[in-house]
Amino acid sequence: MVHISTAHEVLAVVFQVRRLGTPKPQLSVLLWQRAQEPQRGAWSLPGGSLRHDEDMTSSVRRQLAEKVDLREIAHLEQLAVFSDPDRVPATRTIASTFLGLVPSPATPELPPDTRWHPVSALPPMAFDHGPMVTHAHARLVAKLSYTNIGFALAPKEFVLSTLRDIYSAALDYQVDATNLQRVLQRRGVITRTGTTAQSGRSGGRPAAVFRFADSQLRVTDEFAALRPPS
């Protein structure tokens, strides 16, 4: 197909660790269901056309607020450009994707056509939005190894079992809490608050409460790589 014009859209891959009715936390992505053709009924990433008077970051923030009423984003970064000439029908459209992270305690109110879906069980996706989710997840996994990006998925204060569940969900394998604590404390990523959590019904020693040392992204070990247990 010969294209005589080109449009530009911005799309957000927004992740949050959620339980979604199961005891095991799951990394989930925010999707909305298309109500019109093409691909009516398929699930899409939130976003839309880039205006002539805005930059891409402003555009994706505006569209998340306007279209899915999402404002509680702890981290947002540009990911990649998808430019296959036939990625969508009609006008050629280049897509710039963004990674957005929402902390676990947040419970944003969503429109009826918008839902969180487990990354491990995506519904039928529109166009090339499925590969976009896969690419964003790979970027998140990599950054969990060499940055402090976990701050954008975690509560402001937490016990180690909570942080372990968040990392396990995002990395898609079980993480040992003791090893995680040792690695993150050695890199100066997390620190104790000096308080303890209330004991559960079974009693036992109260768990120490931690927080992330920073709430802005920084590289902690550029050569590090978290790997599943052998």
- 15-24, 115-124, 136-145: segment of lowest average pLDDT: 15-24
pLDDT at 200: 59
Say how far apart CA 225 and CA 18 lie, in whole Å: 24
Residue 103, pLDDT above cutoff 60 = yes
Burial profile 29-59: b = 16 or more Cβ within 10 angstroms, e = fewer: bbbbbbeeeebeebbbbbbeebeeeeeeeeb
Give the dihedral of Cα atoms 132, 137, 140, 146; nearest 10 deg: -110
Percent of the chain with pLDDT over 90: 76
How many C-alpha atoms does 182 have within 13 Å on its Cβ side?
A: 6
Q: Does residue 189 surpass a pLDDT of 90?
A: yes
Average model confidence (pLDDT) across the chain: 91
Per-residue pLDDT of 58-70, as tens digits, reads 999 999 998 888 8
Per residue in 165-176, pLDDT (tens digit) is 999 999 999 999
What average pLDDT score do residues 192-201 get? 81
Taking 70 as the threshold, does the pLDDT of residue 21 lie above it? no
- The whole-angstrom separation of Cα 49 and Cα 11 is 9
Gyration radius of the chain over CA positions: 19
Compute the distance between CA of residue 217 and CA of residue 139 in angstroms, rounded to an integer.
Answer: 14
Q: Average pLDDT of 48-56?
A: 94
pLDDT classification of 136: cutoffs 50, 70, 90: very high
Confidence of residue 124 (pLDDT cuts 50, 70, 90): very high
Burial of 99 (0-12, 13-18, 19+ CB in 10 A): buried
Going along the chain from its start, the domains and CATH numbers come out as: 6-145 (3.90.79.10), 151-212 (1.10.10.10)
Of 117, 103, 52, which is closest to residue 74 (Cα–Cα)? 103
Q: Helices (H), strands (E): how many in the chain?
A: 4, 9
Confidence grade of residue 105 (pLDDT, cut at 50, 70, 90): confident
Q: What is the pLDDT of residue 215?
A: 93
Band of the pLDDT at 197, cuts 50, 70, 90? Answer: confident
- Residue 10 buriedness (CB in 10 A; 0-12 / 13-18 / 19+): buried
pLDDT at position 204 over 70: no
Using CA atoms, how far apart are residues 40 and 45, in angstroms rounded to an integer? 14
Q: Does residue 117 sit in helix, strand or coil?
A: strand
Rounded to whole angstroms, the Cα distance separating 147 from 77 reads 14
For the residues 98-103, what does the mean pLDDT come to? 97
Give the containing element (helix H, strand E) for 43: strand 43-44
Give which of 81, 61, 80, 83 is closest to 72, Cα–Cα. Answer: 61
pTM of the model: 0.93
